[in-house]
Amino acid sequence: MKIGIEGQRLFRATKHGMDFVALELIRNIQLLDQENEYVVFVKPGEDKCLESTTNVKIIELEGGPFPLWEQIALPKAVKAYGCDLIHCTSNTAPNFGSTPLILTLHDIFFLETFSLFTKSYSLYQRFGNTYRRYIVPDLVKKAKRIITVSKSEKSRIVDFFHMDEKKVKVIYNGVSEKFRIPVSEEEKIRVKREYSLPDNYLLHLGNTDPKKNTERVLTAYIQYLDICKHKIPLVLVDYPELLTHKLLHHLGRMDVKDYIHRLDYVVNKDLPAMYTMAELFLYPSLRESFGIPLLEAMCCGTAVISSDVFAMPEVAEDAAYLIDPSKPESISSAMRDLIAHPEMRQSYIEKGKLQSTKYSWKKMATQVMELYKEVIAEVKT
């Protein structure tokens, strides 16, 4: 059988969660399936992170802005290459075309009223949410199967669309093996020098998306600084400098800016060292459908503070210090506990390493390929 996979954003330089899930799926298919033929459709970009193999052909497909590429160029290419099935990997898909569809619906945040027009979103993010809000309800009806990444998110999808739960398949994400490999001293020195990192630090991967909860993380960090004599700097990644200063000004605490080491986007290859050198990883999101970074940090031997809501307890179980993400004092208290009690921090480190072994991209890819076979067999009958 010939299977098409949409990977529109895979060649862009600044990849994020859904992009890495699709990338790892394809890399593992290249290794695992020599029986079927795959065609991966991507937009041209500067990071050529995939190459064609005997079983997987990479097609760079022009087509203009995202909606035009997806709604016009992609279905034409799927038909031209004679695909028996198309798997769209990142929440959206073409509304047109008769090729059987599998849709990975990572989440339905964009269908929740709080997430659509929040001022924290950029214009691009607001447009993307509007586009998804418009087309996804029809795609859910059209798709032969929907893949989502946790039981928590499956429950929300089934309830929201009033649909048969048998149509929705939970396939957990994985974590890259590179996060399990001990980081060399040379690599630590390189990353520390390249990003001018302090000797000890707390780490938070920020984002302008409100669900990442960066405002409450900063509020909690200020509370920690006010109470603790030993003040560990905070490394804040992927959160704009202007927004950081505006937030500190709003909180009336510009005096703490020297304790915050702000970074722009960090390339994925540098994250293992960055996690490894951190005292704690702060991941108290308001809403996650899975939470790959908390597993990455666990692999690297870093204690994790995360949230007791949505998919995070499902993924982390008892291997993270779980708190109420709506309360900065809860985040701050967890920081103080783990810093003041090394034995507690070590316990979470050990449980985290064990918990992370439950997840792998190979397992994920194997389950996806089984679903391809199931859907194609169903279509043929």
183-226 pLDDT, tens digit each: 999 999 999 999 999 999 999 998 888 899 999 999 999 999 99
* CATH topology agreement for domains 2-174+360-380 and 177-356: yes
pLDDT score recorded for residue 113: 61
* Domain residue ranges in the chain: 2-174+360-380, 177-356
DSSP state of 160: H
- The helix (H) or strand (E) run that includes residue 281 is strand 280-283
DSSP state of 239: -
pLDDT score recorded for residue 217: 97
Structure tokens that stand for 270 in this block: 């540098």
Residues of the chain falling short of pLDDT 50 = 115-117
Look at strands 2-6 and 101-104 and give their pairing. Answer: unpaired
Model confidence, pTM? 0.94
258-261 CB contacts, 8 Å cutoff, 24+ apart = 259/221, 259/225, 259/231, 259/233, 259/234, 260/218, 260/221, 260/233, 260/234, 260/236, 261/196, 261/197, 261/198, 261/201, 261/233, 261/234, 261/235, 261/236
For the four alpha carbons of 172, 176, 182 and 185, in that order, the dihedral sign comes to negative
Distance, CA of 218 to CA of 100 (rounded, Å): 46
CA distances from 113 to 10, 92, 108, 109, 130 (A): 29, 19, 11, 8, 11
CATH fold of 2-174+360-380: Rossmann fold (3.40.50)
pLDDT score recorded for residue 346: 98
pLDDT score recorded for residue 117: 46
pLDDT score recorded for residue 115: 46
pLDDT score recorded for residue 125: 67
Q: What is the CATH number of domain 177-356?
A: 3.40.50.2000
pLDDT score recorded for residue 35: 95
